Amino acid sequence: MVDKMAFLYRQLKIITLLFSALVANVNASIIDLERSNQKVVQIAVKETPYSLSPYASRGLDAQYSHLFFDPLVRWGQGGELEYRLLAKLKTLKNNKIRFHLKKKIYFHSGNLLTSKDVIWSLNEARKNKCLQRKLQHIVNVKRINDYQFDVQTELTQTQLLDYLSHIFILDSAYYKKNKIDHHSAQTALLPPIKTLPLSGTGPYRVTSFYADVNLRVEANVSYWQNQPLFKSLNFVKIKSIDSRLYALLADDIDISEAISNKNINSVYLLDDKQIYQTTSLNALFLMINETKNDLFERRTARNAIHLAINQAGMLKHILNGTGTFSSKLNVVASDMYEPVYDATRAKYLLKKMNAPKRLSLLVMTDKNDHSQEVVLALKNMLDKVGVKLDVTEVDSIEQWNKVQFNYDLMLANWSSPLIATDNVYQDIFSNSLLSGYLELLFEQQKKPLTMAEKIVLFDQYQTSDRIVPLFSHNKIWATDKQFDLQSVFSVTATPYWHLLNLSH
């Protein structure tokens, strides 16, 4: 009997200890949640906004636009389209699509979202040169009632929604009443802010703003979805890429945008910090201009230049492994292979063809990419095969377009936030530094070309070394380990800060 009582006593004690541990864990979780609600997350960024309108000539960066506004749809983390202000849609006859808005969604001002706001926002977006290109294939938009409108377009549904993911819906009545100018630079906003300089449906509101210093936001308590875990965010401008990292290592900030790939190993060594890399559609292209030099009309000559370029070496030594390289731009993966590096054969082929000893290279400079390091690498690699590079740098699209065909080689960066395949290719063909050269090559076909035909030709131009994608690079963020950055980024590498969570 005594043994049985002792056994029961031990079991009761174990149960009591387990229950106490469970209660302690629950209490700890509650404390963590309360702390996260109270904490101001400090985020170091390259730039703070110029204007607080997504439709300004220098519009809001996407990460800021998603703080204050919502689009009809947006791209999720897994490449799926998420319906935001859009409830549903239906395809009608004559290239029309009927959109149905979600109901009972309110702007920061308290005004109710209706189809009038969508149509007004689309009209405002058309005044922005960059967004004009995304909306040029929308033939007509017609209001049906407060929650329905029709869009007539030449685009497929996926193409249309891809473009609309970049159109943010503004409070038309509020902007008209307060005569808010999209294009004016935003002056300092000091708390308490009685009159908002914007009105959207987004998860945050402005609480203070100092131009070129910081932007502080707090959760919109009337947000139509779940409240953000972190109620206050402070975006601090730190221009220097090294200073952003030093501020993180000193615990002055919690999250840092765009740190150097040269410093990632120092972060990996720390127990309380971590790296997160985002991938998006981008590439650094080398174009071999067959219209400038008759030699490059020969595929063997173009191939010799490509053989002289060590792309794996660039990935290792310039990007420190934070990127990828392949034979073609990876929009739709097919027929991909790793380019061959063979300097000995390149030198033999160039000598056999009596290639010129000097070639000219045009470079579009960009302080945010790796063009300077790539130029130096190209000069060294081509020097090994007996070719000297004369480099000219330009820093504007106007200069580039004026002189590009005067050079044997052209080096230019390209990136796109678009996802739909035809939209991505359209961006390359019509809205990039490759566009002029591609148009020249397309004209050699001496007939109008469909998009499908252009895509096939672009694939062939890469296979035949007219256009060489040298590499794609990742953007590197660094953070305190308590934050889960993986929860934040979309498939387009856009951060949705209201989704920021604690690491588990």
Within this chain, do residues 275 and 307 fall inside the same structural domain, yes or no?
no
Last residue of a domain, one of 106, 140, 175: 175
| DSSP SS3 for 8 | helix
Helices (H) and strands (E) in the chain, counts: 16, 21
Q: What angle do CA 128, 129, 134 make, to 5 degrees?
A: 90
Per-residue pLDDT at 447: 95
∠ CA 449-451-454, rounded to 5°: 65
Same-domain pairing of 314 and 429? yes
- Per-residue model confidence (pLDDT) at position 29: 40
Kindly state the DSSP code that residue 57 receives in the 8-state scheme: T
As given in the structure block, the two tokens for residue 381 are: 């690699």
Q: Do 133 and 165 contact (CB within 8 A), yes or no?
A: no
**Same domain membership, residue 287 and residue 243:** no
d(CA 202, CA 339): 45
Given a contact cutoff of 8 angstroms between Cβ atoms, the answer to whether 468 and 309 are in contact is yes
Answer whether residue 332 shows pLDDT above 80. no
> 92-103 pLDDT, tens per residue?
998 999 999 999
Asked if the structure places residue 25 within a domain, the reply is no
Contact (Cβ atoms closer than 8 angstroms) between residue 273 and residue 248: yes
Whole-structure pTM value: 0.88
Q: Does 394 share its domain with 316?
A: yes
How far apart CA 460 and CA 13 sit, in angstroms, is 75
**Do 266 and 351 share a structural domain?**
no
Residue 27 has pLDDT above 60, yes or no: no
Say what percent of the chain tops pLDDT 90.
Answer: 75
CA distance readout (Å), 228 to 28, 84, 292? 20, 16, 56
- Residue range 188-216: average pLDDT? 90
Task: Find the CATH number of the domain harbouring 258.
Answer: 3.40.190.10
Range of the domain at 162: 71-175
Is the residue at 23 inside a domain? no
Tell me whether residue 18 is in a domain. no
CB 126, CB 141: distance < 8 Å: no
pLDDT attached to residue 24: 43
pLDDT-derived band at 20 (thresholds 50, 70, 90) equals: very low
Confidence of residue 3 (pLDDT cuts 50, 70, 90): low
Q: Is the dihedral of CA 145, 148, 149, 152 positive or negative?
A: negative
Spatial distance between the Cα atoms of 179 and 172, rounded to a whole number of angstroms:
10
Tell whether 46 and 191 lie within a shared domain. yes
pLDDT digits (tens, 9 = 90+) for 372-387: 999 999 999 999 999 9
What's the confidence (pLDDT) of residue 19? 45
What is the reported pLDDT for 183? Answer: 75
The answer on 131 and 166 residing in a single domain is yes
CB atoms under 10 Å from CB of 366, counted, come to 13
How far, in Å, CA of 26 to CA of 19, rounded? 11
Identify whether residues 298 and 371 lie together within a single domain: yes
Residue 367 counted as domain residue: yes
Model confidence at 484: pLDDT above 50: yes
Q: What is the pLDDT of residue 22?
A: 45
CATH of residue 436's domain is 3.10.105.10
Q: Average pLDDT in the 15-44 region?
A: 57
Q: Strands 501-502 and 483-484: what pairing?
A: antiparallel
pLDDT category at 368 given cuts 50, 70, 90 is low
**Banded model confidence at residue 194, pLDDT cuts 50, 70, 90:** confident
pLDDT of residue 26: 42
Long-range contacts of 90-98 (CB under 8 A, 24+ apart): 91/157, 92/150, 94/152, 95/139, 95/152, 95/153, 95/154, 96/150, 96/151, 96/152, 97/150, 97/151, 97/153, 97/157, 97/160, 98/144, 98/148, 98/149, 98/150
Q: H or E segment at 170?
A: none
CATH number at residue 128: 3.90.76.10
Model pLDDT, residue 34: 47
**Residue 32: inside a domain:** no
The answer as to whether 8 is a domain residue is: no
At residue 5 the predicted structure's pLDDT band, cuts being 50, 70 and 90, is: low
Do 400 and 353 sit in the same domain of this protein?
A: yes
Residue 417 forms part of a structural domain: yes
Q: What is the pLDDT of residues 387-433, one digit of tens each?
A: 999 999 999 999 999 999 999 999 999 999 999 999 999 999 999 99
Burial 148-176 (b: 16+ CB within 10 A, else e): bbbbebebeeebbbbbbbbbbbbbbbbbe
Residue 82, pLDDT above cutoff 90: yes
Are residues 457 and 390 located together in one domain of the fold?
A: yes
Across the chain, mean pLDDT equals 90
Q: How many CB atoms lie within 10 A of CB 67?
A: 26
Amino acid at 431: N
Count structural domains, the chain.
3
Same domain, 288 and 248: no
pLDDT band at 6 (very low <50, low <70, confident <90, very high): low
pLDDT mean over 455-478: 95
With a cut of 90, say whether residue 60 has pLDDT above it.
Answer: no
Of 1-5, 20-24, 353-357, 484-488, where does mean pLDDT reach its minimum?
20-24
Kindly state whether residue 252 falls inside one of the protein's structural domains.
Answer: yes
Quick one: average pLDDT of 105-114? 98
- In terms of domains, do 81 and 122 share one? yes
